[in-house]
Chains A and B, each alone.
Chain A
Amino acid sequence: MEKVDKDPEEAPGRSVLPEKQEAKTRIPTRKIEENPIEEGTEQSKRQEEQEHTKRIIDLQRELTTFVTNIQTAGDAKWLERKAELEESRRIRRERLENDVKTSQEKYDEIVRSWLTLNEKRMLQELHEALNSHQQLCDIIIADKKKLINDLQQELKKRDDHYVKTLRNNEEEIDLLIERMEEQMRTLTNAYREQLGQTETVDQQETEASLAQYKAEWQQEMTELWDKQIAQLTDRRDEVKNYEEKLHDQMLKDADLYNQRLLEENCSKFKVQREHQQKKAADSVEKLLTNIKSYQPSEGKRTSIKRRISGLQKERQSLQNELLRQQKELAQKRETLSKEYKCTMDQYERLQKQVKHFAVADATKFREMWQMCEEERKEQVEKILDLDSQICKHLGVAWERPPLPFMEHSGPIQPQTQAPRPDHQGEEGELSVEKMKKVMELLCDEAGFLMESKVLQLLAPLEKENQTVVKQRALFHSLGIKGEDVPELTDFLSKYKQEQGEQTECFVCLQDVCAESSDVAKAVETSASTDMSSELIHCSSVLPALRSFLKQRVESRESTAHHRSTVGHTEARDAADYKTYWDSMANVISEDKLKMWDAAERKFRQYHVVLTNISELRSQNERLQRRNAELRVRVQEMAISTVGWSH
């Protein structure tokens, strides 16, 4: 049990040591390489390290011996014990051998005594011999017993001893373990310490070297910088020098260049002048020769011809183009005029329709009116009848009130318009000559309306044509159609007669028309017409024309009004209608109405009284009937009582 192997706890120590040693031997060599300067300090450091390693090795040795001491002690004890055991074994063996010998002797004696016993015949002797024999046997047994006891005791002792040694061994093992642990602890502590030291040393060294390197680096850097700065300044100076030189050179070069340029220009001008002179001379010569032989060359002529033909062609094409465009325009105009006609037709058709509708509406209106009027009249008759009855009932004399509207029938006609001039009748009267004259007059008077250009264009034409063109232009500007021409002549002829009566009107018209230049000029034209014709005064032509125009406008408006038919006239005469219908409604007067009301009230009262009377009568009748019944009963009762009494 105590023979714990020594190797396991020694092995780590052994294995760790070389590593440590190695590390230590390596570190200083590195340091020597790094820092050859600080040899003095290095040596002291190496010494220190050696001391450290020595200390650690000593520690290891001491501790291992400390641990293994127990083992060797254990071995020694085991040896001792073994020897002891062997000694005791030997003693025991000897004792056993002795015992065997003695017991053998005694046994032999017993056997011998057995032989003697067989010889002896005497009882007494036999008895004695037996006794002695028994004694011998007892002695042997006692010896054996003693031996057994001794051995047992020894066994017990041995057992105790064994237990004790076991306990000792246990203690020793505990101690061993404890020491091993302690060794481990101390060693680890020592290693840790050393590690810390080496670390700090290493750190210091690295710091120192770092600082040194830094210083060196800085020094070198400053040197380098200084050098570079010096070089830079040198270079700058050089650059300045070169710049100055360059500047000088540039100036020189510029001067030179300018001089050269001047010279060259001079020569160039000279050459040019010469050249021009030569050219002039040449051209003069040429001209002279040309004059001498002024015959255009064939080539030139053909070229000119060609040009002419080209131009002709161009003209032709342009003309074609023109024709084509004219045609197109004519076509367009035709289509447009057609369209215009169509639309005009449509317009007329629409107007006719409108007229037709207006007439239809008017007839309808009339019918409606008559129907309503008849109804009203019947009602009035009825009311009057009723009134007469009531009056009769009341005993009042009744008179038929005057009823003028009862004779009237059909709608009230609005004021009839001024009769329109009948063109158809007058047309025949108007001679063509007169019309012509009027036209001419108009044209002369209203010439200012024409544009000067047109007049210029017309100047070469004959007078008739001139008037026709002028007339058209005028009519166009005044908005008068060809159909209105006879009307206009008629108007103008009549105007003179009216003029005397309507001077005021004329003045005011003139005032109004002064604003419009067109109309003012029209007055002049009308005046001019007057001059040429007997009918109309020259000066009154314009106002006449103006009034004519105004009338036309009015007539147009009125026709437009006509188209909207009776609706408008009705609206205008709403008041008339009202009075008409009101007169119908007010056949019965207010007093009469009041009287009616009073009569109604009285009749009602009377009715109530009458109903009461009728009720009372019915009641009375009922009561009478009852009375009769009761009487019958009484009679019956009387009869019955008589019967009973009997």
Chain B
Amino acid sequence: MQTGWDGAYLYSAEDYRKMRRIIAEDPYWTLTTVPYLSNLCLQCIVNNFEEKPIFEELTASQKDFIQERLSLSLPLHLTANLITDGVYWKRCCKQKWDVCDVSHYDHSWKRMFFERHLENIIELFIPNETDPKVVLQMVPLCKHYVKRLDISQLLPPIKEPQREEEEDGSDMATDTEYDGPGIEHFDFGILLKKLTNLEELHLTYGFKHCGMNFEWKMFEMTDRDCESLAKALKSCRTLKLFRLHQSHIEDKKCRLLVKYLLDHPSLRVLDFSHNLIGDSGARAIGKLLTKSKLEVLNMCDNNISGVGAKAIAHALSKPSSLLSLNLRLNHLTDEGGEAIAKAMLKNNTLLHLHLGGNKMTWLTAFALSEVLVQNNSLKSINLSCNKLGEDGGKALEKAMSCNTSVTECDIRLTEVNEQSVSSVNQVVWTNQSLQQKKQAK
């Protein structure tokens, strides 16, 4: 009897040990990690996604599961229109780029991925070298998601040595002798009309990391480029913002572009900052202002002088939709300044005016002080870096004391008396608080 009991006890103890050993051998063994059959099925879908993509039929949680696990190396033509915005695209973005600020893309990872992907393709496009199909293939995949293109470089074609010799370092290169058929940049004509959701286009004809091969030609667009771009812009009916900066655009190209943009149905923001546009270009833009519904115009850092400013002022004097005008760092001088001030007397839509760094003197200040007294729509005015002098300052101070709408008035570095500066600021601040109270109501 005793032995029998002992035996049973030993046996059971052995069993228990066996069981424990099984668990101890596999440190990850727990009941909870035994996968569900549904998970296994989903994993199978993930593994065979390339052969048999199943996504639409799944529930939201299953989609999440798949998005977490899909291979990032899947071809885009498979995933682009199938997989909705979510974790998968986040993973794609994080894999491709270190810095990903999704807030710039309406918090859509998919949009971010496709925009940046397309930008990369275009920026690395070498004319006559890369097959245009590379870009065209992407169009059907990304046309629904791309809203903005910010292209920071456009590669020039690979040059023949003889052409190199002909060029020189002139920074005023307006010659047309280099505009051969073979050296134009990427042709936007093939792309823009197909991107049906494009709203913003930021362009610069530049070349990053050029190193010791620097040539001015790399940083400017050819006539043919200009024409194709202008036609492409016209074909893109959804574009709202067009920004072409630091691209050595001179009058001729500006005129060409404006010519094609005259009847654009949706363009609201135009930015030609940091170019070489002169008076004739400014005239063309003045014409554009009267004809289109442009709301923001940025002509900062160009070569517009009094004559061009007069043309723009003429457009301003007529009823237009323009809300913001930036003529910073031009050569308006008093001639242009006075013309604009006169125009502003008739205008009551413009809210922001920037005339900083335009070699204006007290004459313009006097003209503008009249505007400030009469005009009640202007909200911000910037006259910094002009030689207004004490008289101009006093005139402005006087005018500001009657004004209630201006909430920003920048008259720094204008040789104005500090007293008047402080009084102007006082007025501005009271106006600000008034404005806030209005808003609060």
Given the interface contacts A69-B412, A75-B328, does A61 sit within 8 Å of B356 by beta carbon? no
Residue of B384, B429, B440 near A72 (CB, 8 A) is B384
Q: Across the interface, which residues of B come within 8 angstroms of A22, CB to CB?
A: 439-440
Cα–Cα, bound, A79→B328 (Å): 11
- A68 on the interface (CB 8 Å rule)? yes
User: Interface size bucket, A side?
Assistant: 10 to 19
- A240 on the interface (CB 8 Å rule)? no
Q: How far is the CB of A614 from chain B (nearest CB, A)?
A: 70
Q: How far is the CB of B271 from chain A (nearest CB, A)?
A: 10
Q: How far is the CB of A92 from chain B (nearest CB, A)?
A: 13
Residues 398-441 of chain B, each 1 if its beta carbon lies under 8 Å from chain A, else 0: 00000000000010110000000000000001001100110110
- B300 on the interface (CB 8 Å rule)? yes
Cα–Cα, bound, A17→B412 (Å): 23
- A406 on the interface (CB 8 Å rule)? no
**Do the beta carbons of B436 and A72 come within 8 Å of each other?**
no
**Do the beta carbons of B385 and A17 come within 8 Å of each other?**
no
- B274 on the interface (CB 8 Å rule)? yes
- A25 on the interface (CB 8 Å rule)? yes
Residue of B356, B413, B440 near A25 (CB, 8 A) is B440
- B225 on the interface (CB 8 Å rule)? no
- B329 on the interface (CB 8 Å rule)? yes
- A241 on the interface (CB 8 Å rule)? no
Q: Across the interface, which residues of A come within 8 angstroms of B413, CB to CB?
A: 72-73, 75-76
- B357 on the interface (CB 8 Å rule)? yes
- Count of chain A to chain B residue pairs whose CB atoms are closer than 8 Å in the complex: 49
In the complex formed, the residue of A with least CB distance to B352 is A7
- A3 on the interface (CB 8 Å rule)? yes
In the complex formed, the residue of A with least CB distance to B331 is A82
- B301 on the interface (CB 8 Å rule)? yes
- A449 on the interface (CB 8 Å rule)? no
In the complex formed, the residue of B with least CB distance to A86 is B331
Given the interface contacts A75-B384, A76-B357, does A3 sit within 8 Å of B301 by beta carbon? yes
In the complex formed, the residue of B with least CB distance to A25 is B440
Q: Across the interface, which residues of B come within 8 angstroms of A65, CB to CB?
A: 412
Cα–Cα, bound, A22→B435 (Å): 12
**Do the beta carbons of B440 and A21 come within 8 Å of each other?**
yes
Residues 11-44 of chain A, each 1 if its beta carbon lies under 8 Å from chain B, else 0: 0000001100110010000000000000000000
**Do the beta carbons of A72 and B410 come within 8 Å of each other?**
yes
- A581 on the interface (CB 8 Å rule)? no
In the complex formed, the residue of B with least CB distance to A65 is B412
**Do the beta carbons of A3 and B329 come within 8 Å of each other?**
yes
Interface of A: prevailing SS:
helix
In the complex formed, the residue of A with least CB distance to B328 is A75
Q: Across the interface, which residues of B come within 8 angstroms of A61, CB to CB?
A: 429
Q: How far is the CB of A117 from chain B (nearest CB, A)?
A: 37
- A354 on the interface (CB 8 Å rule)? no
Cα–Cα, bound, A57→B435 (Å): 14
**Do the beta carbons of A18 and B440 come within 8 Å of each other?**
yes
In the complex formed, the residue of B with least CB distance to A20 is B436
**Do the beta carbons of A72 and B439 come within 8 Å of each other?**
no
Q: Across the interface, which residues of A come within 8 angstroms of B357, CB to CB?
A: 75-76, 78-79
Which of A21, A79, A82 gathers most chain B CB within 10 Å?
A: A79
Residues 277-302 of chain B, each 1 if its beta carbon lies under 8 Å from chain A, else 0: 00000000000000000000000110
Q: Across the interface, which residues of A come within 8 angstroms of B356, CB to CB?
A: 72, 75
Cα–Cα, bound, A103→B436 (Å): 70
Cα–Cα, bound, A79→B429 (Å): 29
Q: Across the interface, which residues of A come within 8 angstroms of B440, CB to CB?
A: 18, 21-22, 25
In the complex formed, the residue of B with least CB distance to A82 is B329
Q: Across the interface, which residues of A come within 8 angstroms of B385, CB to CB?
A: 72, 75-76, 79
Q: How far is the CB of A27 from chain B (nearest CB, A)?
A: 12
Cα–Cα, bound, A68→B329 (Å): 16
In the complex formed, the residue of B with least CB distance to A69 is B412
Q: Across the interface, which residues of A come within 8 angstroms of B410, CB to CB?
A: 68, 72
Q: How far is the CB of A476 from chain B (nearest CB, A)?
A: 69
**A72-90: which residues lie under 8 A (CB-CB) from chain B?**
72-73, 75-76, 78-79, 82
Given the interface contacts A18-B439, A79-B357, does A72 sit within 8 Å of B274 by beta carbon? no
Cα–Cα, bound, A72→B432 (Å): 22
Cα–Cα, bound, A73→B432 (Å): 25
**A544-594: which residues lie under 8 A (CB-CB) from chain B?**
none
Q: Across the interface, which residues of B come within 8 angstroms of A18, CB to CB?
A: 436, 439-440
**Do the beta carbons of B329 and A75 come within 8 Å of each other?**
yes
Q: How far is the CB of A572 from chain B (nearest CB, A)?
A: 57
Cα–Cα, bound, A17→B435 (Å): 11
Cα–Cα, bound, A73→B385 (Å): 8
Cα–Cα, bound, A72→B413 (Å): 7
**Do the beta carbons of A72 and B300 come within 8 Å of each other?**
no
Q: Across the interface, which residues of A come within 8 angstroms of B384, CB to CB?
A: 72, 75-76
Q: How far is the CB of B212 from chain A (nearest CB, A)?
A: 13
Cα–Cα, bound, A21→B440 (Å): 8
Given the interface contacts A76-B357, A78-B357, A79-B357, does A57 sit within 8 Å of B429 by beta carbon? yes
In the complex formed, the residue of B with least CB distance to A17 is B436
Q: Across the interface, which residues of A come within 8 angstroms of B273, CB to CB?
A: 3
Cα–Cα, bound, A73→B437 (Å): 33
Q: Across the interface, which residues of A come within 8 angstroms of B274, CB to CB?
A: 3
Q: Across the interface, which residues of A come within 8 angstroms of B439, CB to CB?
A: 18, 22
Q: How far is the CB of A291 from chain B (nearest CB, A)?
A: 108
Residues 47-69 of chain A, each 1 if its beta carbon lies under 8 Å from chain B, else 0: 00000000001000100010011
Q: Across the interface, which residues of A come within 8 angstroms of B412, CB to CB?
A: 65, 68-69, 72
Cα–Cα, bound, A17→B407 (Å): 13
Cα–Cα, bound, A79→B329 (Å): 7
Q: Across the interface, which residues of B come within 8 angstroms of A17, CB to CB?
A: 436
Cα–Cα, bound, A17→B384 (Å): 24
Q: How far is the CB of A467 from chain B (nearest CB, A)?
A: 83
**Do the beta carbons of B328 and A21 come within 8 Å of each other?**
no
Q: How far is the CB of A16 from chain B (nearest CB, A)?
A: 11
Cα–Cα, bound, A72→B384 (Å): 7
Q: How far is the CB of A441 from chain B (nearest CB, A)?
A: 83
In the complex formed, the residue of B with least CB distance to A53 is B433
Cα–Cα, bound, A3→B330 (Å): 13
Cα–Cα, bound, A22→B328 (Å): 34
Cα–Cα, bound, A239→B410 (Å): 90
In the complex formed, the residue of A with least CB distance to B384 is A72
26 contacts between A and B (CB under 8 A): A3-B274, A3-B300, A3-B301, A3-B329, A18-B436, A21-B437, A21-B440, A22-B440, A57-B429, A57-B432, A68-B410, A68-B412, A72-B384, A72-B410, A72-B413, A75-B328, A75-B356, A75-B384, A76-B384, A76-B385, A76-B413, A79-B329, A79-B357, A79-B359, A79-B385, A82-B329
Binding site for B on A (CB under 8 A): 3, 17-18, 21-22, 25, 57, 61, 65, 68-69, 72-73, 75-76, 78-79, 82
Closest 5 CB pairs of A and B: A72-B384, A76-B385, A75-B357, A75-B385, A72-B412
Binding site for A on B (CB under 8 A): 273-274, 300-301, 328-329, 356-357, 359, 384-385, 410, 412-413, 429, 432-433, 436-437, 439-440
Given contacts A3-B273, A25-B440, 11 further A-B contacts (CB under 8 A): A3-B301, A17-B436, A18-B440, A21-B433, A57-B429, A65-B412, A68-B412, A72-B413, A73-B413, A79-B357, A79-B385
